[in-house]
Structure 1
């Protein structure tokens, strides 16, 4: 039995390591399906049959994705290629900028920074590892398109079969505990769905504000950077900070005034988002203490990358709900 157990564990490890990308797609599709389920339920309450509601919601989602690929992807590909082609020039402009000259006068760091930049740009593997190379941009986009198609198809199946999947899972619980398990599971899935919708709204607002601000202050590659900012905004707590640093560094290639004109309003917006926008959007979704949220995001990012960081907070909320409703309630009964 020990040998069989070890063999099964090795088989599971082999499967996970070789279909890791597929597992990420499945996780993303399930996450999106849980986010769309509250909308479908709301349509059901309006006397719209569930199949029709699923068709409407998925059609809107497909339309948004198709519009995104049709309008933004060509611009993003072009601007990404321009970034790769102009990277050495940007480095030289930064070294000759007034900001860096002032910094070098105080700390004498020019020789060291120049050596590190030259060594990095000379390493084709390093540059290609970040961007995939100019020729690799199209390949990455095609791979993303295929992955998006797979995720959309899986999302459709998960959304259509979600009630049946729940009923099957509830049957695994003892009959005496089944109503309690069903109530907890429904609360968890509702919270996760509302969290996904809320985080999407926050990311959309964040990316739109950053794009408008970059267009006003003339930060280069505003479309590409706006898309990156919106993606980073999906990562709780740290996504906005990473976006602020990234865009500010690119704005420094234009001048320290441009970087300052972007950084100050964007950081101010992040404070407004943290204290006013996110709480109002998320007040019905999840309630996780700040320390737990930070630990969850770091652990999720370490285990599953971006997807792990995205699902970290709703997972932490689900664990906290189970602890509160099961273990703490049981101790109170005792």
Structure 2
């Protein structure tokens, strides 16, 4: 390229400029860095298996089968699993309260929706349903606590009389003459009183019982408050949960979820009605036969009747053992009446009350109740059948339908 001579530029200056622009002998042209065309408009991926970097140097992408990648992701997965386990193990009580509150909210939701169908606003319906629940719980404790105090006071008052009668009995005198029972009992009592560990154990047991009662009352309050919040936010929670599903499957997920939650709610309401009828019948029979602690035992029967299948049997055995204190004839009569009622309940009452609730085969129900009770205690036994019904519904509507298409 020849330099352009400007007007007025001397010929000598133009010649010198032309010589300076000529390359030196043996010199190589300098490499210039330029942005690749594919990166000029933004980062793009190159061919398959390559990754174009910001500096225009394509390189191989790390395979998902690479040992370093597999080891790193495996370590991250184990760390996340351990973190979840640690959180769950340290918040077990809170998780149980949440499950109980959600179970109660699903049980009260049919009542609230029924009140909504009667042109009652949902907040008013929630207030009515929760007020009835709180009144029932308050009535339970208001009746149970005075009864327990009365019965314990009676036992404390009668205990010296029972001990005196036993000591004055011919059987105790004979045993004392042969083995020296009176002296042995006196020695053991002296050791027990003078032992600070034993007395501290009694004091610690009293404190532990008080702490258990306080924790139970606090847990009941937490469950009631959470139930109120869950019941108020249940429609919004459902809508939010449905949006987590793909839009193409959202209608199917919503239909299955509504069926499951409706079945759980109907089950809770139905089981409450069955338990109430069971406790009422047991209280009437106990009052007629003169079985002691009838009110307290009626509450025990109501609580145990919430546990499906085995709860009624356990309640019957408990009342029969108490009725033996009044005579074996009373125990036999109560056993005949109560177990006859259980048969009537199983074949006539429960099918009519539970016709809109879940339907679970007997073997599955028994296994579910045992497994739920082993894992979560009474709460696990209560929610075992609804959980089993939900799993069976999902298997029927998803897995079996998918299998039938192949």
TM-score interval, smaller chain: 0.7 to 0.9
Q: List gaps (5 residues or longer) in structure 1.
A: 94-121, 123-131
Is the CA contact 1:77–1:138 (under 8 Å) kept in the aligned structure 2?
no
Please say if 1:201 is aligned against 2:282.
no
Query: For residue 270 of structure 1, what is the aligned residue in structure 2?
Result: 342
Superposition deviation, residue 86 in structure 1: 7.8
Question: Offset of 1:277 from its aligned partner?
Answer: 0.7
Matches within 5 A, 1:88-103: none
Cα deviations across residues 196-216 of structure 1 (Å, max 9, x unaligned)? 000011111111211221122
In the alignment, structure 1 residue 12 sits paired with structure 2 residue 84: yes
Gap change, CA 1:143 and 1:81, over 3 Å in 2:
farther
Query: Whose helix fraction is larger, Structure 1's or Structure 2's?
Result: 1
Matched, 1:57 2:124: no
Aligned residue runs from structure 1 range 54-203, under 5 A: 54-79=126-151, 140-203=212-275
Q: Counterpart in 1 of 2:284?
A: 212
Compared CA separation, residues 299 and 134, structure 1 to 2 (3 A): same
For residues 27-69 of structure 1, what are the alpha-carbon distances to aligned partners after superposition, in whole Å with 9 as ceiling and x for unaligned? 1111010001011111112222211211121122222222332
Distance change >3 Å, CA 323–CA 209, structure 1 → 2? same
Computed over aligned residues only, the root mean square deviation of the Cα atoms, in angstroms, reads 2.8
CA 1:73–1:174 in 2, change beyond 3 Å: closer, same or farther? same
Residue number in structure 2 paired with 1:261: 333
| CA distance 1:44–1:8, shift in 2 (3 Å) | same
8 Å contact from structure 1 (residues 217, 258) kept in 2: yes
Please, which moves more after superposition, 12-21 or 146-155?
Answer: 12-21
Deviations 1:244-291 (A, max 9, x none): 111111211222112112111011111111111111100110111111
- Between stretches 282-291 and 81-90, larger displacement belongs to 81-90
- The 8 Å contact of residues 188 and 318 in structure 1, kept in 2 or not, is answered as yes
TM-score by length of 1: 0.81
Counterpart Cα distance in 2 of 1:292 and 1:34 = 22
Equivalence for 2:371: 299
- Checking the alignment, whether the CA contact within 8 Å between 1:81 and 1:137 is kept in structure 2 is no
State the alpha-carbon separation in 2 of the partners of residues 175 and 58 from structure 1. Answer: 35
Structure whose CA Rg is larger: 2
Matched, 1:333 2:405: yes
1:44/1:53 contact within 8 Å kept:
yes
SS at the partner of 2:326? Answer: coil
Per-residue deviation at 1:83? 6.7
* Matched pairs, number: 297
Matched, 1:241 2:325: no
Whether the 8 Å CA contact 1:80–1:224 is kept in 2: the answer is no
Structure 1 pair 243/76, CA: closer, same or farther in 2 (3 Å)? Answer: same
**What residue ranges of structure 2 are gaps of 5+ in the alignment?**
1-72, 167-191, 193-203
The offset of 1:140, in angstroms, is 4.4
Is 1:33–1:159's contact at 8 Å kept on the other side of the alignment? yes
Distance in structure 1 (CA, Å) of the matches to 2:365 and 2:275? 18
State the 1:177 CA deviation. Answer: 0.4
